[in-house]
Structure 1
Amino acid sequence: MTLRVTLVGADEGAIANALEAEGHDVQIAPIGNRPGLEEAGIHDADVYLLTDLEQATSIAVAKDLEDDLRVVVYAEGSLPDFASRQTDLVVDPNLLGPDAVAEELE
């Protein structure tokens, strides 16, 4: 099953490459504001993938634009409470590599 993934933040862990290797379509929005998310195709996305906790407020923006998104955070640290309530999966890159995350998203 091919997923459409909107990724927000730096991709230091190379998760975009791992997702594409699994056959998923990845669009990157460097900034998780409304225009950036819409330009990256958030309305067609199945998964919203955040790699930058400083942009945690973008989770609420993404869910407002597309309510049935699956929200995945792939970053070190902890999310603010408001963002964690809207997040389906939080993965620390030190504990699970990008290939394993890409496999598990299906």
Structure 2
Amino acid sequence: MSTGTTAVVAGADEDGIAAALEAEGVAVARLEGVISRPHLEEAGVVDADLYVLTDVGQATTIPIVCDLNEDVRTVVYAQRTVPEFVKGQLDIAIDPQLMDASVVADELVN
């Protein structure tokens, strides 16, 4: 079941958000390690519907993503607090301890 939705999940995915999105029919590209603009472009963020960041240490990628794709929905799915400088470009931040990945994926897609 494909929803036609695409997502880029960036960072270690210890809480399973990528798998939960895939279970909802989302085509997911994954990025780990130090993420640069070329990595984001290669992963397809220019045309992605969702950018899900699981590593707050990579928060500087959010302004880059927004610059590359003004229609993308930006999501942080991590336990750590998001830095102030990206909050204005962030659509939603969710703590995995408060909401299971499958519930988040369902909400993001439906």
Bin of the TM-score, shorter chain as denominator length: over 0.9
- Cα-Cα RMSD: 1.0
Q: TM-score, normalised by structure 1?
A: 0.95
1:82: how far off?
Answer: 1.3
Aligned twin of 1:15:
17
Aligned twin of 1:101:
104
Count of aligned residue pairs for this structure pair: 106
1:6: how far off?
Answer: 0.7
Mind listing any 5+ residue stretches in structure 1 that lack a counterpart? none
Q: TM-score, normalised by structure 2?
A: 0.92
> Structure 1 segments of 4 or more deviating over 3 A?
none
Mind listing any 5+ residue stretches in structure 2 that lack a counterpart? none
Aligned twin of 2:78:
75
After superposition, the C-alpha distances for 1:81-102 in whole angstroms (9 at most, x for unaligned) are: 1111100010000000110011
- What is the one-letter code of the residue matched to 1:34? R
Percent identity of paired positions between Structure 1 and Structure 2 = 47
After superposition, the C-alpha distances for 1:14-45 in whole angstroms (9 at most, x for unaligned) are: 11111101100100122431011011111110
